[in-house]
Chains A and B, each alone.
Chain A
C-alpha cells in the first residue's frame, strides 16, 4: 500500500525561469540554469514509498539528495518547491497545505534525520531532552511517561542510559547521530527520512548505527527513505533505489538489480569506483 507518492517534484534555489528545466539535468551536465543562474537542486522527480518499505537515494555530492529529502519530509528550506506529494490518509498536495497540517504531519507521521546534526538537535539541551522534545511537542504531559519512553528509546538506539541527562554537546558524533534517530522514532512515525546517516562517523560506528536502525525499522515496520552518497549504506538498507545526478533521477529499480546490473553509464561508474 502506497504511503507516500511524489510526482514531478522539484526544488529550486533562485528565482527560476522558463528555461530552467531544459538547461539543467543529466544531459545538460549541470544543475545550474544557464539563463537565470538558479540552481535546480532536483526536478522531474517521481518517487513512491510503500508502507514498511525502504527507498534508497544515491548520488554524488551536490546531486540534490538532501534537497529532495527535505522536500519529502515537508521540511521547508530556502528552496522554492513544486510538484505534487500525496500521503496516505491525507487529502491534497502536501506541498500546498497550511502550516498547521504540515506541522502536525512532522510531529507525528513523518520524521527527518538531518544530514547536519546541528540542524536537528539543540546541543545545549540534554540528550534525553532532545528526544523528549518530540514527545512533548506531540502533547505528552506526564513526566513519568516521557521519562520512560526516552529511556526505552535510548536503549533501543544503544545510547548509554547513564548519559541521558548530560548536555548533547558532550556526546560523541555517533551518540549524537543515535539521539537524532531516537528523536525521529520517538512518536512512532510511519515514515523516517534519513539523510546521510553515517556521515561523520568512523567505519565501525557506522556499521553499528546502521544495524540498529535496520533492526528497529524491521521490528516496527516503519517506512524509510535513506539518502546516502555511500552505495554500501543503500545496499544494506534499501529495497529499492534511485540514482540521482545533476538534480535528476537517472536510474531506478530494485536495489539488487541496480547494483548488479546498472543500466545507466553513470551508475556503472559509481559502482565500479566503489569496487
Chain B
C-alpha cells in the first residue's frame, strides 16, 4: 500500500517538512557522547562488526535511557505539559521519529512485542527501519498486529483497534507547541502555558470560523488535557483525537528535534477546543467504504491508481489507512474494533453513523475554565 499515494495524509507530511526546515536547532541540549551513524544500516553494521561489545542494550547508553525515562515520568505526572530532555542524535533523519525511537528504546524490554506504523501502515521503509533497529539491539519481537503489541510507535495515526491498559502508544511529534501557530515565540508561549492563558488560540479558532463558517483545522487539532494544558496531539487526523479522551492506554508524545516529551496518562480527560455552537467534528466519508475490505467505520484515504481497462486514466478509490486492521476486516468483515476485549461496545473514535459527537454540554461545563 505504501507505493500508492495516500493523498489524505500526504499533504500533512509535506506541510510538516516545511515547518521543520524553519526551526532553529540551537535550543537542543546535546550533552553526552553522540552516537555516530548516518543510517540504520550503518548503525547495525557497526554493531555486527564489533559485536554488542561497547554498545548498550537497546542501542542507547544507560544514561540516555534514564534521562528519557525521567522526562517521561515527569510528563506523565503533569499531563499535557511539555518536558524538555536531552535528545540524542539517532541514525535516522531528524523529523523521522528520532524522539519516538528514543522513547521506545528506553522503555522496551526483551519480553516486549513492538509495532511501528507510519501514517497507518507497518510497511513503510521508515517503519521497517525502526522495527529492525529495535529487533536487533533490544532483542524484542515485532508484530504488525495492534492487539499483540506492548509498545506501538506511530507517526500520525492511532490504530483503529482499541488500545488497552497494558499497551503504550509512542507518537512522533514534529511540532510540539500548539501555540506556535499563533505566536512563534516559545518564551511567550511557555508563559501562556504556565498561566493557562489560551486567549490567542481561541482567537485563532474564532477567525477560523469567520473565514470558513466552521473550525477548519485538519491534523494536530489543539486539545485541552485534564482541563489544564493545551496540547498538540501530533499530526493525527481529527478522527483519532477522541481516542485520547479517557483512554485505557498511556500515550507518550516525543519530539527529537525539539527535545520535548509530553504524555496523556490513562483515563485522562482530553477535550478538543471548540465553541458551544461550532463543535469539534471528525472527518467523515459519507457513502464511502474501503475498496479492499468494505469498512465504513475506519479512517479512509484516497487512492489514485490506473486500473486495467481504464485506458491509463486515474481512478480514485478509498482504502483503510490502518493496513493491519484492513487485512483483518478483509477476512472477517464484521470484526468490531473491540473484538479482543472482554467488554463490548467500547467507545473508541467515531462510530459508523454520520452524526457529529455531541460536545455542547462539555463545552458549557468548561466555560471560563481555560481563559
- Bound form: Cα–Cα A58–B210 in Å: 41
Across-interface contacts of A182 in B (CB, < 8 A): none
Known: A103-B195, A133-B202, A165-B210. A139 touches B369 (CB 8 A): yes
- Distance of A220 Cα from B209 Cα, bound (Å): 31
B196-240 contact mask (Cβ, 8 Å, vs A): 1 or 0: 010110110011011100000000000000000000000000000
A144 touches B200 (CB 8 A): no
CB distance from B366 to the nearest CB of A (A): 7
Interface hit among B59-67, B167-175, B273-281, B319-327: B273-281
Give a binary string over A44-87; 1 marks a CB under 8 Å from any B CB, 0 the rest: 00000000000000000000000000000000000000000000
**In the bound complex, do residue A133 and residue B203 qualify as a contact, i.e. CB atoms below 8 Å apart?**
yes
- Chain A residues with Cβ below 8 Å from B195 are 99, 103
Task: Please tell me which one of the listed residues A136, A141, A142, A147 contacts residue B199 in the complex, with CB atoms under 8 A apart.
Answer: A136
Query: Which of A122, A130, A133, A142 touches B275 (beta carbons < 8 Å)?
Result: A142
CA distance A133 to B368 in the complex (A): 13
Count: A-B pairs, CB below 8 Å:
63
> How far is B276's CA from A141's CA once the two chains are assembled, in angstroms?
6
In the complex with contacts A103-B197, A122-B200, A139-B367 CB distance below 8 A: yes
- A113 at the A/B interface (Cβ < 8 Å)? no
Q: Are B199 and A129 in contact (CB under 8 A)?
A: no
**Residues A121-170 near B (CB distance < 8 A):** 122, 125-126, 128-130, 132-134, 136-144, 146-147, 165
Residue A107 lies at the interface, judged by CB distance under 8 Å to chain B: yes
Contact indicator A143/B275 (Cβ below 8 Å):
yes
Query: Least Cβ distance of B148 to chain A in Å?
Result: 42
Main SS of chain A's interface residues?
helix
Q: Are A141 and B203 in contact (CB under 8 A)?
A: no
Shortest A170–chain B CB gap in Å is 14
Known contacts A99-B195, A122-B200, A133-B199; is A141 also within 8 Å of B366 by CB? yes
Q: B93 an interface residue at 8 Å Cβ cutoff?
A: no
Further 19 A-B residue pairs, CB within 8 A, beyond A133-B203, A141-B364, A146-B206? A103-B195, A126-B210, A128-B206, A129-B207, A129-B210, A130-B203, A136-B202, A136-B206, A139-B367, A140-B367, A141-B276, A141-B366, A141-B367, A143-B275, A143-B276, A143-B277, A143-B278, A147-B210, A165-B211
- 5 inter-chain pairs at a CB distance below 8 angstroms, sorted by A residue, are A103-B195, A128-B207, A133-B203, A137-B197, A140-B367
Chain A contacts to B: CB under 8 angstroms: 99, 103, 107, 122, 125-126, 128-130, 132-134, 136-144, 146-147, 165
Q: Interface of B with A (CB < 8 Å)?
A: 195, 197, 199-200, 202-203, 206-207, 209-211, 275-278, 363-364, 366-369, 371
